């Protein structure tokens, strides 16, 4: 039930309501309701029929505009409160699906319309209050910026900000212009360029909202503000903060972006364009700044980069909320009691992520020392989480209370799920699974976090193999958004569907994959990383490879990534993949030679880079002197390595490791940061082929289900 009682019949002002003027007839059922109370306050409620969200399109903007016009003409209304009747959404911004399908002239019309309607709203000569409960993002916050007061509920669903740059867009309905005038240019620039969403209290600290209250008090506060009898004050930003030399800020912001994302030099980049719009707009007139927003938005909407970012956004949304068609009607159960075996890097991250989302977690390792080390890791994650405001003190304490530790081997019959994250050794994992099968109930789901080993071999001979599944989290497990869900032929549809829903409940995206060496991500990544090492072995300056891939758009170069993964793990995965795919895995001695020379990557601060992130000069004596012909420029290097990624991605699709090219691309995007604007499947125009994989058979019983 919605906590805001918006039905006039339930409203405290119900017996005082005056009928409002009817508004013009629209093509779609009305999305707004309004009533005017006896104090002359107009309560305008956005409540799109048959939808959990409110979004802007031509119809909803038009409807809002006619309400504003009514208020303009009605001399008796003394204040306007805009609110939503959705449980978790105030206004979710523009309707992106609609944006993608509009022809250019209608798109331009829509961009102009949003600006006009919000300017119309701003011009009302009465107090205007946005009473925000739930997501208030993009065009939703741009509406709020056109109001005089922004008040927000402290509910966890309330998120406020302008995330447009994340989708290759900029705030173009006045957001780029109004925010710097509200909170000062430096803070506005930072928020818009990063596209960050804030919780209500953080938004208040930065001045995005004026007051934060429990949702039950939101309406009362709105009324007080409307009547002008309140102690609430607008946060005050000095004029000097508003105009601190926009050109200097522009240079700084551009420099920081290009240093972090060198690919932006060559591509249409929304964050870079946002820097221009926000800094230039700050020294222009309001109208000129709005015109610049419009012009830039039109350019961005015409770019393939923006379209691929929006398409990818939809693919991710679908994968993180829906199940594959074959599983939609399969019953699922909730998994509350979980055991994590192995308190190493992955076990600690998984246990922390699960406890933060409400699971009761028992962490097991073999000795008291290993358990203590694991507990130390987990406590460190809580400290980091608190420092970065990822959770409150209360949430951290509750989550910590949900974690228990043991180095014994207790019965685990009451467990809903056991995830093993012990060393990557088939014999160890097989023995562990056999032991767990005895200690757990028949219904307990047994999951492995293996990076590349065969889950089927691990599960050989255990009773009730229908409960075995792979849950491949990525490192760091509490941060990385992807989990590969590995279904065996014998895994039951209920177990697969339950595991996928469980992953979604963690706020992560599950991709269903077949039990095949390296699954999707490691299989595609390994030839690429080893290909990079093979090149490195024959280059005078191997670190140029990382520079080349950063310019290509990867968030981290392959050599630095290998340092992060660790040479021991990488060599282990290489062995598994070489056994499966032979010469397709590029041959190189360098990694083994580095390991033999005592270099293990980040684990001991000695890899291709040192602890201080400087190149490690001790790598140079291990290189071969002969250069690789045709691999001098960064473009040649990135194109060679991109081909390795593409070749293995195509084979993954052919072998049916995932259901579609779209799934494979999404897995690479979420698991490795593969740039969504690059082609992984070069035959398609968009890089995303919505084709089914011919060989994808997620288990016979599942198809039947």
Minimum CB distance to ligand NAI, residue 623 (Å): 26
**Among 28-36, 159-167, 359-367, 630-638, the segment contacting ligand NAI (CB under 6 A):** 359-367
Tell me whether residue 79 is exposed, middle or buried, using C-beta atoms within 10 angstroms of its C-beta: 0 to 12, 13 to 18, 19 or more: buried
Inter-residue contact 306 to 386 (CB < 8 Å): no
For the CB of residue 424, give the shortest distance to ligand NAI in the complex, in Å. 4
Active-site position among 67, 133, 155, 472: 472
**Contact status: 361 vs ligand NAI (CB under 6 A):** no
Nearest distance in Å: CB 129, ligand NAI: 49
Q: Is residue 569 a contact residue for ligand NAI (CB under 6 A)?
A: yes
CB 452 → ligand NAI: shortest distance, Å? 7
The gap from C-alpha 284 to its chain's centroid, in whole angstroms, comes to: 34
**Subset of 437-456 contacting ligand NAI (CB under 6 A):** 449-451
Nearest approach in angstroms of CB 450 to ligand NAI is 5
Burial of 580 (0-12, 13-18, 19+ CB in 10 A): middle
Least distance (Å) between residue 522 CB and ligand NAI = 8
Q: How far apart are CA 579 and CA 396, in angstroms?
A: 44
Distance, CA of 658 to CA of 509 (rounded, Å): 14
Site for ligand NAI contains 432 (CB under 6 A): yes
472 assigned to active site: yes
Q: Which residue has the tokens 């969200």?
A: 53
Alpha helices by DSSP H, listed for 82-213, are 96-101, 104-122, 139-145, 175-183, 185-194, 200-206
What are φ and ψ of residue 686, in 5° steps?
-100, -15
Is residue 342 involved in binding ligand NAI (CB under 6 A)?
Answer: yes
565 near ligand NAI (CB under 6 A): yes
> Binding to ligand NAI by residue 364, rule CB under 6 A?
yes
- Asked if 469 touches ligand NAI (CB under 6 A), the answer is no
What Cα–Cα distance (Å) separates residue 243 from each residue in 148, 178, 192, 208? 21, 13, 17, 18
Nearer to ligand NAI, 150 or 377 (CB): 377
Q: Which stretch binds ligand NAI (CB under 6 A): 189-197, 361-369, 378-386, 532-540?
A: 361-369
Q: Considering beta carbons, is residue 138 or 470 the nearer one to ligand NAI?
A: 470
Residue from the set 171, 184, 347, 518 that interacts with ligand NAI by CB under 6 A: 347
Q: Which stretch binds ligand NAI (CB under 6 A): 174-182, 305-313, 335-343, 454-462?
A: 335-343
Q: How far apart are CA 589 and CA 337, in angstroms?
A: 45
CB atoms within 10 A of CB 413: 11
- With contacts defined by CB under 6 A, name the span among 55-63, 216-224, 351-359, 360-368 that binds ligand NAI: 360-368
341 binds ligand NAI (CB under 6 A): yes
Out of 386, 390, 428, 556, the only residue in the binding site for ligand NAI (CB under 6 A) is 428
Q: How far is the CB of 568 from ligand NAI (least distance, A)?
A: 9
Q: Residue with structure tokens 């319309």?
A: 113
User: Alpha carbon of 316 to those of 124, 477, 500, 556: distances in Å?
Assistant: 40, 18, 14, 21
Q: By CB under 6 A, which span of 90-98, 127-135, 160-168, 424-432 interacts with ligand NAI?
A: 424-432
Distance CA 580, CA 504 (A): 31
Site for ligand NAI contains 405 (CB under 6 A): no
Q: Site for ligand NAI (CB under 6 A): which residue of 79, 132, 343, 667?
A: 343
* Binding segment toward ligand NAI, per CB under 6 A, in 210-218, 255-263, 298-306, 416-424: 416-424
- Residue from 136, 169, 282, 422 touching ligand NAI (CB under 6 A): that is 422
Q: Are 114 and 173 in contact (CB under 8 A)?
A: yes
Helix/strand/coil for 446: strand
**Which CB atom, from 210 or from 484, has the smaller least distance to ligand NAI?**
484
CB of 617 to ligand NAI, least distance (A): 26
Q: Is 370 in the site for ligand NAI (CB under 6 A)?
A: yes
Compute how many residues bind ligand NAI; rule: CB under 6 A: 24
Could you tell me which of 345, 342, 377, 379 has the C-alpha nearest to residue 363?
Answer: 342
Q: With binding defined as CB under 6 A, does residue 344 bind ligand NAI? A: yes
Residue closest to ligand NAI when measured from CB atoms:
344
Q: How far is the CB of 37 from ligand NAI (least distance, A)?
A: 58
Q: What is the DSSP string of 451-499?
A: SSS-HHHHHTT-S-GGGEEEEEE-SSTTT--EEEEEE-TTS-HHHHHHH
The Cβ of residue 593 has, within 10 Å, a number of other Cβ atoms equal to 15
Element (H, E) at 635: helix 634-654
161 or 347: CB nearest ligand NAI: 347
Tokens, residue 274: 């946002």
Binding to ligand NAI by residue 424, rule CB under 6 A?
yes
Cα–Cα distance measured from residue 390 to residue 386, given in angstroms and rounded to the nearest whole number = 6
Minimum CB–partner distance for residue 514 and ligand NAI (Å): 18
Contact between 480 and ligand NAI per CB under 6 A: no
Give the distance, in angstroms, between the CA of residue 566 and the centroid of all CA atoms in the same chain. 25
Angle subtended at Cα 506 by Cα 505 and Cα 512, rounded to the nearest 5 degrees: 80
Q: Is 129 in the site for ligand NAI (CB under 6 A)?
A: no
Binding part of the chain for ligand NAI, among 339-347, 462-470, 504-512, 606-614 by CB under 6 A, reads: 339-347
By CB under 6 A, tell whether 40 contacts ligand NAI.
Answer: no
Cα torsion for 509, 419, 359, 157, to the nearest 10°? -10
Q: Between 17 and 456, whose beta carbon lies closer to ligand NAI?
A: 456
521 binds ligand NAI (CB under 6 A): no
> Which tokens in the block code for residue 671?
């698991």
Between 98 and 337, name the residue whose CB sits nearer to ligand NAI: 337
Q: How far is the CB of 499 from ligand NAI (least distance, A)?
A: 16
| Least CB distance to ligand NAI at residue 364 (A) | 6
Output the six-digit token pair for 340: 């994590």
482 part of the interface to ligand NAI, by CB under 6 A: no
Closest CA to 4 of 118, 111, 82: 82
Among 68, 226, 323, 421, binds ligand NAI (CB under 6 A): 421
Asked if 556 and 577 touch (Cβ cutoff 8 Å), the reply is no
The distance of closest approach from Cβ of residue 126 to ligand NAI in the complex, given in angstroms and rounded to an integer, is 57
Find the helix or strand (DSSP H, E) in which 130 lies: strand 128-132
Contact 689, 662 (CB under 8 A): yes
278 binds ligand NAI (CB under 6 A): no
For the purposes of burial, counting CB atoms within 10 Å of the CB of 49, is it exposed (0-12), middle (13-18) or buried (19 or more)?
exposed
Question: Could you tell me which stretch among 129-137, 169-177, 422-430, 666-674 binds ligand NAI (CB under 6 A)?
Answer: 422-430
Nearer to ligand NAI, 160 or 561 (CB): 561
Residue 530 contacts residue 586 (beta carbons within 8 Å): yes
- Residue 342 has φ and ψ, to the nearest 5°, of 100, 110
Q: Is 413 helix (H, G, I), strand (E, B) or coil?
A: coil
Nearest CB to ligand NAI, comparing residues 318 and 423: 423
> Contact residues for ligand NAI (CB under 6 A)?
341-347, 364-366, 370, 421-424, 428, 432, 449-451, 474-475, 565, 569
Catalytic center residues: 472
């Amino acid at each position: 039930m919605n906590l805001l009682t918006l039905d006039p019949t339930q409203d405290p002002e119900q017996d005082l309501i005056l009928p409002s003027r009817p508004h013009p007839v629209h093509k779609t059922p009305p999305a707004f309701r309004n009533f005017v109370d006896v104090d002359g306050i107009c309560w305008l409620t956005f409540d799109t029929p048959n939808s959990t969200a409110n979004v802007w399109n031509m119809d909803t903007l038009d409807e809002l505009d006619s309400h504003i016009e009514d208020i303009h003409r009605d001399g008796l209304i003394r204040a306007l409160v805009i609110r939503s009747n959705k449980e978790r959404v105030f206004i979710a911004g523009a309707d992106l699906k609609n944006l993608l399908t509009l022809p250019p002239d209608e798109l331009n019309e829509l961009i102009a319309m949003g600006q006009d309607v919000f300017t119309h709203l701003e011009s009302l000569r009465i107090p205007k209050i946005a009473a925000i409960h739930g997501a208030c993002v993009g065009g939703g916050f741009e509406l709020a910026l056109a109001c005089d007061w922004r008040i927000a509920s402290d509910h966890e669903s309330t998120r406020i900000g302008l995330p447009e740059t994340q989708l290759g867009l900029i705030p173009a309905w006045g957001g780029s212009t109004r925010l710097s005038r509200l909170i000062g240019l430096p803070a506005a620039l930072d928020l818009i360029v990063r596209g960050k969403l804030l919780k209500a209290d953080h938004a208040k600290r930065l001045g995005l909202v004026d007051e934060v209250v429990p949702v039950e008090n939101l309406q009362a506060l709105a009324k007080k503000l409307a009547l002008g009898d309140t102690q609430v004050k607008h946060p005050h930003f000095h004029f000097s903060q508003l105009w601190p030399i926009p050109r200097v800020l522009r240079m700084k912001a551009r420099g920081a972006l290009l240093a972090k994302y060198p690919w932006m030099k060559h591509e249409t980049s929304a964050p870079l364009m946002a820097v221009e719009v926000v800094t230039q707009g700050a020294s222009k007139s309001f109208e000129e700044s709005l015109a610049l927003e419009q012009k830039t938005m039109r350019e961005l909407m015409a770019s393939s980069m923006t379209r691929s970012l929006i398409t990818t956004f939809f693919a991710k949304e679908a994968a993180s909320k829906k199940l594959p068609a074959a599983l939609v009607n399969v019953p699922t159960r909730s998994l509350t009691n979980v055991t994590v075996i192995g308190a190493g890097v992955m076990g600690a991250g998984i246990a922390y992520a699960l406890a933060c989302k409400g699971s009761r977690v028992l962490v097991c390792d073999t000795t008291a020392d290993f358990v203590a080390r694991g507990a130390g890791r987990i406590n460190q994650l809580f400290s980091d989480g608190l420092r970065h405001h990822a959770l409150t003190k209360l949430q951290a304490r509750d989550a910590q209370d949900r974690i228990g530790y043991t180095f014994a081997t207790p019965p685990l019959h009451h467990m809903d799920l056991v995830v093993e994250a012990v060393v990557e050794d088939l014999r160890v994992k097989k023995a562990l699974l056999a032991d767990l099968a005895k200690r757990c109930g028949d219904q307990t789901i047994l999951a492995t976090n293996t990076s590349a080993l065969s889950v089927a071999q691990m599960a050989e001979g255990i009773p009730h193999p229908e409960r075995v599944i792979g849950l491949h989290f990525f490192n760091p497990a509490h941060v990385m958004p992807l989990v590969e869900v590995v279904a065996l032929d014998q895994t039951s549809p209920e177990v697969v569907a339950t595991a996928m829903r469980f992953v979604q409940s963690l706020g992560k995206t599950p991709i269903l994959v077949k039990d095949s060496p390296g699954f999707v991500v490691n299989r595609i990544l390994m030839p690429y990383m080893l290909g990079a090492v093979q090149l490195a072995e024959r280059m005078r300056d191997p670190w140029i490879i990382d520079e080349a891939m950063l310019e290509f758009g990867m968030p981290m170069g392959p050599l630095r990534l290998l340092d992060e993964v660790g040479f021991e793990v990488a060599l282990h995965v290489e062995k598994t993949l070489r056994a499966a795919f032979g010469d397709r895995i590029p041959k190189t001695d360098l990694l083994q030679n580095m390991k033999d020379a005592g270099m293990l990557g980040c684990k001991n601060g000695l890899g291709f880079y040192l602890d201080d992130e400087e190149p490690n000069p001790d790598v140079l004596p291990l290189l071969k002197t002969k250069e690789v012909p045709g691999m001098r420029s960064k473009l040649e290097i990135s194109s060679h390595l991109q081909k390795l990624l593409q070749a293995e991605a195509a084979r993954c699709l052919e072998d049916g490791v995932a259901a579609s090219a779209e799934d494979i691309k999404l897995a690479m995007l979420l698991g490795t940061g593969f740039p969504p604007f690059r082609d992984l499947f070069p035959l398609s125009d968009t890089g995303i082929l919505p084709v089914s994989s011919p060989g994808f058979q997620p288990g016979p019983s599942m198809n039947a289900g």
